[in-house]
Amino acid sequence: MKTLLVTGGAGFIGGNFVLQAIADGLRVVNLDKLTYAGNPETLASLQDNDAHVFVQGDIGDRDLLQRLLREHRPDAIVNFAAESHVDRSIDGPAEFVQTNVVGTLALLEASRDYWRELEGDARNGFRFLHVSTDEVYGSLGDTGKFTETTPYAPNSPYSASKASSDHLVRAFHHTYGLPVLTTNCSNNYGPYQFPEKLIPLILHKALAGEALPVYGDGRNVRDWLFVGDHCAAIRRVLEAGRVGETYNVGGNAERENIVVVKTLCALLDERQPLTDGRKREELITFVKDRPGHDRRYAIDASKLERELGWTPSESFDSGMQRTVDWYLAHQAWVQHVLDGSYRMQRLGEGAAA
């Protein structure tokens, strides 16, 4: 059975990835600091599963990393751990540099030292996969798409910190030979997303019949990818990606934010109409735009399709339906995030163990 060291596996994408990997028969050592974005409840179904070892700790903790690598001897490392919310990076960039840059550097150094000690097949097969974002490429005009060779031009403290980490990952390959892979993905949505991000935030407020805040004129365009498809892409790159390469991951589903919000409104109206007869679209309220808000992202994921045969399985419509149905069926998960009780949950060993 293969063992993965997954960082940030109690977050949105990492949590989905861990659940999928374990269902597919992999063993996962899950290192997560459990910041506000880490949610043990996402992993509750793995509580008694020996294939999952949860460790609360920081990717910047070199002693802990060394101990985990020696003890668990992973075949690969998948780095999801990050501060991930653009608005929070505008209010306080330092934490983003600390985890996304300094933390990733510590993880890279520990991984390099571990990899150097491996021999034979273990050494040849080892991979360090870094999960990154399309936001590193900056903003597009009305046409064109980001490819793997688009120059980096990050515009927010979040994307600047992710860009820095991507460069470090690249440098560790070129300088030390570490067998790295990087994926740059568009906006994800789906189960277990923290309700500060657009889709779960809108779903929560729309269910409650509250005003639905939309930045600026709502015409900012993002490409949307169902989280399960992103996880499958990462697994595919891990299995067959060419060492040292980067792969763009996208859903071929560019939509204006306002279209996303109206889609969610319509799906909720169908499933659970408001009792006072209002249509949820009436709740949309345009609010002051985010400073430096990138206008358009679009991703060309043809390299991943051509080289590794990956394409998304969900369309925008089917993915949105699945997401709305998941949130309706998991209101307790959302409620525990909103009332803060998710932070009381505990899983596995603590950092000091």
Q: Which of residues 166-185 bind ligand NAD (CB under 6 A)?
A: 185
Q: Which position's Cβ is nearest ligand NAD?
A: 11
Rounded Cα gap, residues 51 and 42, in angstroms = 16
Q: Binder to ligand NAD among 4, 5, 12, 86 (CB under 6 A)?
A: 12
Q: Binder to ligand NAD among 89, 155, 188, 257 (CB under 6 A)?
A: 188
Rounded Cα gap, residues 71 and 294, in angstroms = 43
Q: Verify binding: residue 154, ligand NAD, rule CB under 6 A.
A: no
Q: Which of residues 237-276 bind ligand NAD (CB under 6 A)?
A: none
Q: Binder to ligand NAD among 81, 178, 198, 233 (CB under 6 A)?
A: 81
Stretch that binds ligand NAD, among 80-88, 237-245, 250-258, 304-312 (CB under 6 A): 80-88
Q: Binder to ligand NAD among 5, 6, 14, 267 (CB under 6 A)?
A: 14
Q: Verify binding: residue 229, ligand NAD, rule CB under 6 A.
A: no
CA-based nearest residue to 177, from 238, 121, 130, 244 = 244
Catalytic residues: 134-135, 158
Q: Binder to ligand NAD among 127, 162, 204, 255 (CB under 6 A)?
A: 162
Tokens 């004129």 identify what position? 217
Q: Verify binding: residue 138, ligand NAD, rule CB under 6 A.
A: no
CB neighbour list of residue 164: distance below 8 Å, 6 or more residues apart: 97, 100, 101
Nearest to ligand NAD of 78, 283 (CB atom): 78
Q: Binder to ligand NAD among 13, 28, 108, 238 (CB under 6 A)?
A: 13
Report whether 296 contacts 142 (CB < 8 A). yes
Q: Verify binding: residue 35, ligand NAD, rule CB under 6 A.
A: yes
Q: Verify binding: residue 40, ligand NAD, rule CB under 6 A.
A: no
Q: Verify binding: residue 226, ligand NAD, rule CB under 6 A.
A: no
Report residue 268 as tokens.
């909720």
Phi, psi dihedral angles at 246 (to 5 degrees): -115, 150
Shortest reach from residue 203's CB to ligand NAD, in Å: 16
Binding-site residue total for ligand NAD (CB under 6 A)?
A: 32
Q: Verify binding: residue 38, ligand NAD, rule CB under 6 A.
A: yes
Q: Binder to ligand NAD among 32, 166, 223, 254 (CB under 6 A)?
A: 32
Report whether 90 contacts 291 (CB < 8 A). yes
Long-range Cβ contacts of 228-231 (<8 Å, 24+ apart): 228/16, 228/20, 228/190, 228/313, 228/314, 229/312, 229/313, 229/314, 229/319, 230/13, 230/16, 230/185, 230/188, 231/13, 231/16, 231/17, 231/20, 231/21
Site residues (vs ligand NAD, CB under 6 A): 7-8, 10-14, 31-35, 37-38, 58-60, 80-84, 99, 103, 131-133, 162, 185, 187-188, 194
